[in-house]
Amino acid sequence: MNSPASLELRKFVAPEFVYGSGAIGFVGRYAKNFGARRALVVTDPGVIAAGWTDMALASLDAENIPWAVYQSVTPNPKDHEVADGVQFYRDNRCDIIVAVGGGSPMDCAKGISISSANNSSVLAFEGVDMVPLPGPPLICVPTTAGSSVDVSQFAIITDSARKLKIAIVTKMVVPDVALIDPETTTTMPAELTAATGLDALVHAIEAYVSNASSPFTDLNALAAIPRLAQNLIPAIETPLDMGCRNEMMLGSLQAGLAFSNASLGLVHAMAHSLGGLLGFPHGMCNALLLEHVVAFNYPACPDRYDDIARAMGLALDGLAQPERQDALLHAIAALREGSGIRTTIGALGVTPKDIPQLALNAANDPCSATNPRKATVRDIERLYEKAL
């Protein structure tokens, strides 16, 4: 007999995507199919230096599609960078957007897309389903295995005045196509591989325990976890091993399809707060907060976290619930430390006086709504204190 959960009405949103080595070479073909006359290519200096932007431009050249490159994108992209990108898009009379890079260029490109179409500041779209009109065609080429912005209905932009990251959640920012080429991840430095890989793992974990999860998101979340857990450290140690890079990119894709439709939780709410107020790298924040949030959440859904532990390869038979929780926490810590992330948020610069504002911002973040355990502002303050 079908369970109530499997009968519950759900919607699952995903873009068209092309996966595999050489996918980046399809940029021009898809742009041509969309009727492009001039492409705005959103990227950043690091991706340009790695050579991936030039590959996308060459593909556009092959289809005789003119382009203009906007590269003024920083980590945790800001509202004013989106506004400058909108003006650049209009000045160059572009009619399609191609994002080449990690989460920051792709989030910025999404912001440019909806802001240009709706003639509004990107900050006007904060929240769920707040975008009236779709933007121009958007092609995303991810160069990290982690953010999954290329397949999600999320865009995260920093409100520079409030020092706050806003979440824009709408199918209007789902790309028209994602060209997912695992070869693009071979140029990531070790610290970026670690941070983005752990970000992807958090996507999968939070999607699986989300109070908005479903059988469809569960399939992707649980499939992503062993890929990411087993291949992260080997990908760091042997960056040109395409077997590991492929597994990491597949895991990132599956985790992205899961969280885009199940949303996230307190790890991301707290990481967004750290990134918005203090400018810390998103993946690093997730990695440093995960254990503390798992320990807080575990009593609310122990069976779900036990599934995650088993997906990470842990043997739980015969263990009492406290022992199962400890085993999972130790495995997460070992993976984080083995990836080279051994610091704390205090060592990064967070002070006790920062915590009240950080906790308030996290409590108001949309990702808090789908956390499996309700958290008060004081609960969140205690989690930040433990992470110091």
In the chain, what are the domain boundaries?
16-185, 188-387
pLDDT of residue 15: 96
pLDDT of residue 10: 85
Residue 112 pLDDT exceeds 70: yes
Q: Minimum mean pLDDT among 4-13, 116-125, 226-235: which range?
A: 4-13
Q: Does domain 188-387 have CATH number 3.50.50.60?
A: no
User: pTM of the entire structure?
Assistant: 0.96
Residue 368: both structure tokens together: 């808090």
Mean pLDDT for the stretch of residues 115-129: 97
pLDDT of residue 9: 86
Q: For 86-95, how does the pLDDT look when each residue is reduced to its tens digit (9 = 90+)?
A: 999 999 999 9
pLDDT of residue 106: 98
Q: Does domain 16-185 have CATH number 3.40.50.1970?
A: yes
Helix (H) or strand (E) holding 29: helix 27-33
Q: Is 165 left (phi over 0), alpha (psi -120 to 50) or beta?
A: beta
pLDDT of residue 5: 62
Residue 14 pLDDT exceeds 80: yes
Q: For 348-372, how does the pLDDT look when each residue is reduced to its tens digit (9 = 90+)?
A: 999 999 999 999 999 999 999 999 9
pLDDT of residue 1: 46
Residue 4 pLDDT exceeds 80: no
Residue type at position 160? S
Cα–Cα distances in angstroms (integers) from residue 32 to residues 21, 25, 35, 137, 296, in the given order: 21, 13, 5, 11, 50
Mean pLDDT for the stretch of residues 45-63: 98
User: Which residues touch 8 (CB under 8 Å, ≥6 apart)?
Assistant: 214
Mean pLDDT for the stretch of residues 131-156: 97
Residue 266 pLDDT exceeds 60: yes
pLDDT of residue 64: 98
pLDDT of residue 91: 98
Confidence of residue 32 (pLDDT cuts 50, 70, 90): very high
Residue 160 pLDDT exceeds 90: yes
